[in-house]
Amino acid sequence: MNSSQQIQFSKECPLGGGPQGDLAIRIARRMGKHQPLHWLVNSTVVFKVKQRIYLLGGVDILGGQMSPLDRHWLEEANGKPICVVDLTSKDAARRTQARSIMVEHFSKLTDSKLVFISERPFRDDVLKAFDNAGAVFLPGGDTEVLLDSLAEQDLSGVLRASEIPIVGNSAGALAVCEEVILTTDADIKTPRVLAGLGLVSFSIDPHYDSTHDMELYELSAGREIYGLPEQSGIISEGRSLEFVGPAWRFSNGRKERVN
């Protein structure tokens, strides 16, 4: 699906008549045009279709798991390459292993080629990979390493400006949030809150289970956090959220199941 589309209005398609005319009026109102709409006749209106952001609560690709949403977002790529931002580890051997497993994993689902950012040392090649992609995939790993790597390579703005679907799994899903909520685990000894990419206004807790609740009650003061177990996910499109699998919302110290 193209992220921007063009509609040509002409006198053969009068404004206010038929679906294109109705759409013209809606566009005009959004643009603050309250005068007669003759200004749209014989003109081309370019409008942006809402971008979809996919947040996956955790899928062990290295272990052969597949997300219920994988086929969905891959279809949106329309056969174009998938730009994989595999910058979630500083361990070169681990990145090499992960690339091999991701190629095997996604080859079962799509004919789209995977283009790995870690294999492109030159910025022009990296930007070309984004330009040619049908979707961007941010895999699991270390969220802080990912955010630091994006900043170092000046790619945070590239992702924010992107109009194609962006898919984050686990650490990658954390990174797309406005705030990155890091609950304790084997590697994280105390909860932390970091600045994320801000592609969505809420935060998530991937690999969620109820043992995280006490931390999330406290961390949810003044913010909205969704607990996403593995195999669960959220599709964010504008102000609309679609949940796949069980999910819980934490806000101002309160918890409720949303799906």
Same-domain check for residues 86 and 67: yes
Same-domain check for residues 29 and 130: no
Same-domain check for residues 181 and 247: yes
pLDDT at position 60, please? 77
pLDDT at position 59, please? 81
Same-domain check for residues 178 and 218: yes
Cβ neighbours for 32, distance < 8 A, ≥ 6 positions apart? none
Q: 171-212 pLDDT, tens per residue? A: 999 999 999 999 987 677 788 899 999 999 999 999 999 999
Same-domain check for residues 133 and 226: yes
What span, in angstroms and rounded, lies between the C-alpha atoms of 136 and 138?
7
Specify the DSSP element, H or E, that contains 27.
helix 18-30
Same-domain check for residues 34 and 84: no
Cα-Cα end-to-end distance for the chain: 27
Same-domain check for residues 76 and 184: yes
Same-domain check for residues 68 and 128: yes
pTM of the predicted model as reported, rounded to 2 decimal places: 0.80
pLDDT at 28 over 90: no
What span, in angstroms and rounded, lies between the C-alpha atoms of 166 and 155?
14
Q: 117-160 pLDDT, tens per residue? A: 999 999 999 999 999 999 999 999 999 999 999 999 999 999 99
Same-domain check for residues 32 and 90: no
pLDDT at position 49, please? 52
Same-domain check for residues 97 and 205: yes
Same-domain check for residues 88 and 189: yes
User: Closest Cα partner for 197 from 158, 163, 251, 235?
Assistant: 158
Give how many domains the chain has, as a whole number.
2
CATH of the domain at 115: 3.40.50.880
| Confidence tier at 37 by pLDDT (50, 70, 90) | very low
User: Which pair of tokens denotes residue 6?
Assistant: 């063009």
Write out the residue range of the structural domain in which residue 207 sits.
Answer: 52-257
For residue 245, the 8-state DSSP code is S
What span, in angstroms and rounded, lies between the C-alpha atoms of 41 and 15?
7
Region 45-65: what's the mean pLDDT? 75
Same-domain check for residues 65 and 26: no
pLDDT at position 188, please? 78
User: Closest Cα partner for 228 from 253, 248, 255, 211?
Assistant: 248
Amino acid identity for residue 232 in this structure: S
